[in-house]
Structure 1
Amino acid sequence: MAMRRLIGKTFKFYKQAVNQAFSETNLFYTNVVLSIAISSTGDLLEQSYEFYRQEINKFDFKRTAHMAFSGCTAGVLCHHWYKFLDKIIKKRTIQNVIKKLILDQCIWSPIIILSFFATVAIFEDNPIENFTDEVHEKFWILYKAEWVVWPPAQIINFYFLPTKYRVLYDNTISLGYDIYTSHVKHSKTKKYVEKNEN
């Protein structure tokens, strides 16, 4: 009996916490925190793999903090993007889902990729040069990956989920993609390799 009461109270507390986190008042903060957590986790998992492969000999927590900052930026941007998208295209029809998908892939994906390179470049030496080099060499790698991962995922997102759960769902799918993003970001550019060979 006591166990049942405890489970009932725990479930009630959990339900209240979720309702509060995804309320209109707190949704922005929830989305940003989720995005920071997922970007950090993605980088730590990628570093774990690099450590296992002996590509690195210790974890770089500064790098994780930079990825967390890029996640914060993505959280802010995605929160407002999904609200805007649902405001201009309202009804949940297959036709509208396709419209949202095209806007998301053709307009939003490039913006998010560029903002990712920009926010991480801020913390590096020669940020403008690094940003330009990485966009030139790595933008299309990530953009092609976006076309593999996101269209099927976003069909579910746009058709089935209410606006308030879009960033949560996005982040759930994004964990695997964030591992890949961290890998692409921290692989050396041709220019970097040439510079260090000379």
Structure 2
Amino acid sequence: MVEFFSLPDNRIELPDIDTGGRILDIGGGGEGIIGLLKGDRVVAIDPNRRELEETSNDSLMILMDACDLKFLDESFELVTSFFTLMYIHGEKWGTVFREVHRVLKDGGEFWIWDASFHIPRTVKENICMIPLKVVFPDGSIVDTGYGCRIHDQDLEDFEELARANGFEIQETSREGDTFFLKLKRLPK
């Protein structure tokens, strides 16, 4: 039987994203938060067809794995990951970061919103849930949540991966059980 461990409610306030170009959104299926924010400027990828079919926004939806991006080098000015890395096994995070670096233009940015999980070893549940209130720049709110198999992950895990894979850390922030990490692609 699947049992859930739920974190407290969390709130994310999205900034307006203005890159002028297309945005690659890794894991853009499901709620498709970045697609809701920027519409047809977003190329949303997800390895799960059902997640893409359930998405209701104007993004271009492509069935694709973030570990094997089918785009040419230096195709995007911005890549986003909105509560997606928590679903990717930690052993594959480095591959995702290398692929994102490859498809970003020099000086391009990788924006990551995700959960900080520090689950006590006494927890018996299999799945950790993180309920979210996502506040858009216009003040509208989407109530959503994400759940994944219980594992530990935190901002520092991704900062280390960023430095090891050709990124410079531009900004970090924490709010409740969530974090935001803004990275800049360094030239090869």
Coarse TM-score class (shorter-chain normalised): under 0.3
TM-score, normalised by the number of residues in structure 1: 0.24
> Highest relative contact order (Cα 8 Å, sep 6+), 1 or 2?
1
TM-score, normalised by the number of residues in structure 2: 0.25
**Bigger radius of gyration:** 1
Q: Give the structure with the higher percent strand.
A: 2
Q: Give the structure with the higher percent helix.
A: 1
